[in-house]
Structure 1
Amino acid sequence: MSSILLDNYSVRFNQHFSLKQINWRLDPEQHWVILGGNGAGKSALAAILCGVGEPISGAIHGLVAKTALVSFEAQAELIAQERKKDAADILDVIPEGTPVKDLLNSPEADPKRLVELIELFKFEALLERGFRKLSTGETRKLMLIRALACRPDLLVLDEPFEGLDAASTILVAGLLLELARQTRIVMVLNRVDEIPSFITHLAYMEHGQILHCVAMSDPVASADLQQLLHLKTTDLTIPQAPREHLPPKLDPSQPLVRLRKARIAYDEKQVLTDLDWTIQAGEHWQVTGPNGSGKTCLLNLITGDHPQCYTNDIFVFGMQRGSGESIWQIKRYIGYVSSGLQWEYRVSITVRNVIISGFYDSIGLYQKYTERERIIAEQWLAVLGMSARATESFSQLSYGDQRLVLIARAMVKHPSLLILDEPCLGLDDLNRQLVLALIEKICAGTETTVLYVNHRAKDQIAGIQQHLALG
């Protein structure tokens, strides 16, 4: 059996949907699961392997002649074919459709294998029944029996467990485990916990593109990918903050931040000149610019950490800068994450306690926390897909997981403004997408205004509509 190779392959399914420039290699003895959110293109990618779609450009090599596809689309196509046979508009009868036995006795089916499968699925009593009288689950079983009876060299299964009862799910899982010894299998799944033990590789899709291909033998990469799917596709709720830790109420008629003719200069070097900028509550911003364009300086004007903040006209959280406010009055409204903070956080402390330390704005935890604070930290770990790691040492986490935990630490009090200074700096592509997915959840699920600072304009986040470009 040869490898299947999609080389910059583009294929059209209808006038509204295409997959473009797909690169993917499936070697012999590999079994794949395709993961991704709704609308990512998973089903289309799987169907390509069975020759579905109209080629536009690129090439596909090594397609297997004997394939079988089980999918909702194939099921819908079979239903549509049965409806075409309907004579209900002519005959005064209720149509029952083609008998099940006729649909199963296809020329491609191995007769002996077909009899075995009919017995396993307890389909004997349904053989004389018309197709139109089958339930949704029975129709799904019929599709599986047809596919497995053909003894394909490549079996493509799109959500094979959907619509099956518990006993049938166990039966199908066992059949696939046995079949995987001699047949290449590609599956589309929405649930990570349904990935069978025989799967060797994972492919993750977004917006019609394969973003990651990971071997199950790489436990770190496969765990990161499953964590990304958790953040992207699970209906997560951002934990609430205890009332005593919420920042004081602000006047909703006033902006969170307003800078007028802001200027930063060092000797003859102008970093920022005449910058007017207003951040309204609920108005998420992305700030981009090359190195040296003044991004971090701008943040330090807001937080009060820049020596020139008092020489500028700055209004923050209901206070005019220089009117006698303390830096702690400002910072209680702010959650802050940066690479610098991550490097500073080198104390020996558990993952859970790092999140709890956000209630006290401390690096480390030096006082007894409440039960309510512990519960909220546990809820944040569930959001991150890290519940099992609560008591691990923060220093032992991967660089990307540390960044996620620090974002949760910054968010536990639901600050009025969450400042993320280059949150993806130093991260590989998979961990970068984990961080972006978490920020997207925060934008959608809280009243916190997000200020996301980076130097790559293409690292966009759903929910962030405002953009300030520096330099």
Structure 2
Amino acid sequence: MTASICLQNLTVNFDDRFKLSEIDWSITSDQHWVITGTNGAGKSALGAVLAGAGEIESGTLSGVPGKVGLVSFEAQAELIAQELKKDDADIMDVIAEGTPVREMIFNDCADPDLASELVEKFGLTGLLDRAFRKLSTGETRKMMLIRALSSKPDLLILDEPFDGLDANTLVMLQEHLAAIVDDVPMILVLNRFDEMPAFITHVAYVDKGRLSHTVDRQDETAFNELYQLLHLKTTDLDVPEADPASKLPDLDPAQPLVKLKNIRVKYGDDVIIDGLDWTIERGQHWQLSGPNGSGKTCLLSLITGDHPQCYVNDIFVFGFQRGNGESIWQIKQFIGYVSTALQWEYRVSTSCKNVIISGFYDSIGMYTKSTDKQKEIADQWLALLGMSDRADQPFNKLSYGDQRLLLIARAMVKHPPLLILDEPCLGLDDMNRQLVLALIEKICEAKNTTVLYVNHHAEDQIAGIENFLALSKAG
């Protein structure tokens, strides 16, 4: 391959089942890529497009070489379908055995010597005369790898090539790929970063049918952020359990967490909120949006008890009717709160681990000796965030996005009934924004804490949040 492969504003339809949209991507002959993303994101579709799959609706695809070697589950299924179709012809009175493996590999083989070598290495010698469709899934995978590798491709596309391989075969395949990196550019589709071969130079991250990020592996910061995002998106780690010793008082499960009735807030002649009714039930995640001046911050302070007009309004929170003698701390113990203002305040030079532990004490910094259980829970949160190796790093030396993740973990350690995230993506670039949103999705999935996500844009939605309140600016 001499020229670059270029995808410009490319939209591709796959039989109306899936669509890749507005893809911009350039691949040069000296690059080896991994395409990654969550299940259903479109990573396999993006690889398949380079092998001619899909119907181009708009944009351009150019520079794809003449011979593309492809191994994928879809291509595997297609081969099996072709074999079954031979039976449908029903031209004989005997049951068709199907095409033997030997024929599948060596017919039209560009490099028979390499094919023979790989057949032996992959342990298929004894299966050459067996019908292809009688192979196991793993054996079929091996056969397809042999076909692709021995076809002398100008471009090699391997979709989850290491799936289903035993340990010895996996090592052998990785060694073979490393040996041919100077001869053929490769694109691997992988779910797991830890399977990424050392020769990979670039990473493409696909999300919801769009190419969200392309990262040069030499860019350590960007690569680590993408690793962290994929970790949060695909890990089977769950939100850590709460510390029984820090258990909050039980709330009446029959009562809503928050109930605001006919709320009116005004400053002089300026009416900020007028006639608002709003109920937040347990487990009912909400997105609160609206422009500056629409009353978002005012509404939050009514819930937390920080607004002076909360006592002249009909407000019921966590079983308390506001104005009946409860203290502000009786209210706030049930709320986890993260905002840009908190991040500005949290400037003490303490470790990442201690930032999380400080959530048990609602403090800025650590002034009390932590328990072994609290340390264990902090370690679990660091593992969830993909930050275990940074437990002892100073908080104030981290990126803005990593600080935000830690403050969310700090707010969650006691599993508050309500977590308020006030503009949690403010000031973050797109990658760090995706990290924060992925963590919020994890918290929503856990179903222990009700999330109230506050932002400017109603269209900026998060999986798991299905209730929306959009405020408009008065006047």
Question: Shorter-chain TM-score: what band?
Answer: over 0.9
- Hey, what does 1:28 align to over in structure 2? 29
Q: TM-score, normalised by structure 1?
A: 0.97
Whether the 8 Å CA contact 2:240–2:377 is kept in 1: the answer is yes
Q: Which residue of 2 aligns with 1:371?
A: 372
Q: How does 1:411-430 map to 2 (within 5 A)?
A: 411-430=412-431
- 2:69 matched residue in structure 1: 68
Matched residue, 2:138 = 137
The answer to whether the Cα contact below 8 Å between 1:157 and 1:188 also exists between their aligned partners in 2 is: yes
Where do 1:50-61 residues align within 5 Å? Answer: 50-61=51-62
Shift in Å, 1:462: 1.2
1:238·1:446 contact (CA, 8 Å) conserved in 2?
no
Where structure 1 has 5 or more consecutive residues not aligned to the other structure, the ranges are none
Which residue of 2 is the match for residue 297 of structure 1? 298
Partner residue in 1 for 2:242? 241
128-137 vs 89-98, which moves further: 89-98
The residue that corresponds to 1:3 in the other structure is 4
Query: Matches of residues 92-131 of structure 1 in structure 2 within 5 Å?
Result: 95-131=96-132
Q: 1:253 to 1:121 in 2, by over 3 A?
A: closer
Give the deviation of 1:316 after TM superposition. Answer: 1.1
Question: Which secondary structure state, in structure 2, belongs to the residue aligned with residue 323 of structure 1?
Answer: coil
Of 171-180 and 84-93, the range deviating more from structure 2:
84-93
Offset, 1:108: 4.6
The Cα shift of 1:87 comes to: 7.5
Matched position secondary structure for 1:226:
helix
- CA distance in structure 1 between the aligned counterparts of 2:347 and 2:58, rounded to whole angstroms: 51
Q: 1:278 corresponds to which residue?
A: 279
In the alignment, the residues of structure 1 paired with residue 471 and residue 133 of structure 2 have an alpha-carbon distance, to the nearest angstrom, of 63
Question: Which residue does 2:321 correspond to in 1?
Answer: 320
Amino acid in structure 2 at the alignment position of 1:232: K
- 1:246 touches 1:415 (CA, 8 Å); kept in 2? no
Matched, 1:79 2:101: no
For 1:93 and 1:171, the matched residues in 2 are separated by 40
Equivalent pair of 2:232/2:435 in contact (CA under 8 Å): yes
Q: Is the 8 A contact 1:95 1:132 kept in 2?
A: no
TM score, norm. by length of structure 2: 0.96
Q: Which residue of 1 aligns with 2:466?
A: 465
- Confirm or deny: 8 A CA contact 1:34 1:202 kept in the other structure: yes
| Residue 396 of structure 1: how far off its partner (Å) | 1.3
Q: 1:251: which partner in 2?
A: 252
Contact 1:88–1:94 (CA under 8 A) maintained in structure 2: no
| Unpaired segments ≥5 residues, structure 2 | none
What is the CA-CA distance between 1:205 and the residue it aligns to?
1.0
The aligned residue for residue 174 of structure 1 is 175
Larger mean Cα displacement after TM superposition, 85-94 or 399-408? 85-94
Q: CA deviation at 1:88?
A: 11
Greater alpha carbon shift after TM alignment, 76-85 vs 166-175: 76-85
Aligned-pair CA distance for 1:102: 0.9
* Contact 2:283/2:447 (<8 A) preserved: no
Q: 1:122 to 1:447 in 2, by over 3 A?
A: closer
Cα deviation, residue 38, structure 1: 0.9
Question: What's the secondary structure of 2:360's corresponding residue?
Answer: coil
Matched position secondary structure for 1:7: strand
Q: CA-to-partner distance for each residue in 1:108-150, whole Å, 9 max, x for gaps?
A: 5222322332333243322222212322222111101110101
- The one-letter code of the counterpart of 2:170 is T
User: Which amino acid in 2 is paired with 1:372?
Assistant: K
Give the letter aligned to residue 77 of structure 1.
E
Instruction: Tell me the secondary structure at the aligned position of residue 141 of structure 2.
Output: helix
1:90 offset after TM fit, Å? 7.4
Match of 1:309 in 2: 310
Answer whether contact 1:6 1:25 (CA < 8 A) is retained: yes
Q: CA deviation at 1:163?
A: 1.3
Structure 1 residues 33-44: aligned runs within 5 Å: 33-44=34-45
User: Is the 8 Å Cα contact of residues 104 and 145 (structure 1) preserved in structure 2?
Assistant: yes
Supply the distance in 2 between the matched residues of 1:300 and 1:237 (Cα, whole angstroms): 31
Deviation at 1:92, TM superposition (A): 7.4
> Is contact 1:34–1:203 with CA below 8 Å preserved after alignment?
yes
SS in 2 for 1:381: helix
Give 1:228's aligned residue: 229
Q: 1:85 Cα shift? A: 2.3
Note the C-alpha offset of 1:159: 0.3
C-alpha contact (below 8 Å) 2:14/2:55 kept by paired residues: yes
| Alpha-carbon contact 1:384-1:404 (below 8 Å) kept | yes
Shift in Å, 1:308? 2.1
The answer on 1:341 being equivalent to 2:342 is yes
Letter matched to residue 367 of structure 1: T
Paired position in structure 2 for 1:394: 395
- 1:395-448 deviation digits (Å, cap 9, x = unpaired): 111110110110000000000110000000011111111111111111111321
Q: What is residue 217 of structure 2 aligned with on the other side?
A: 216
Q: Which residue of 2 aligns with 1:450?
A: 451
Rounded to whole Å, the distance in 2 between the matches of 1:249 and 1:93 is 72
Q: What is the deviation of 1:95?
A: 4.7
- Aligned-partner Cα distance in 2 for 1:94–1:350: 70
Greater mean alpha carbon deviation, residues 420-429 or residues 89-98: 89-98
Contact 2:404 2:436 in 1 (8 A): yes
Aligned residue number for residue 206 of structure 1: 207
CA distance in 2, matches of 1:335, 1:390: 22
Q: Does the CA-based 8 Å contact 1:88-1:95 persist in structure 2?
A: no
Is the contact between residue 69 and residue 155 of structure 2 (CA under 8 Å) also seen in structure 1?
yes
For 2:203, the aligned partner's letter is L
Deviations 1:71-105 (A, max 9, x none): 01111111111222237977676654212111111
- DSSP 3-state at the match of 1:358: helix
> Partners in 2 of 1:96 and 1:37 — Cα distance?
38
Q: State the alpha-carbon separation in 1 of the partners of residues 281 and 145 from structure 2.
A: 55
Letter matched to residue 47 of structure 2: A
For the aligned residue pairs, the C-alpha RMSD in angstroms reads 1.6
Output one character per residue of 1:298-353: Cα deviation in whole Å (capped at 9) or x when no partner: 11111111222222221111111111111111111000000000110011111111
1:359 maps to which residue?
Answer: 360
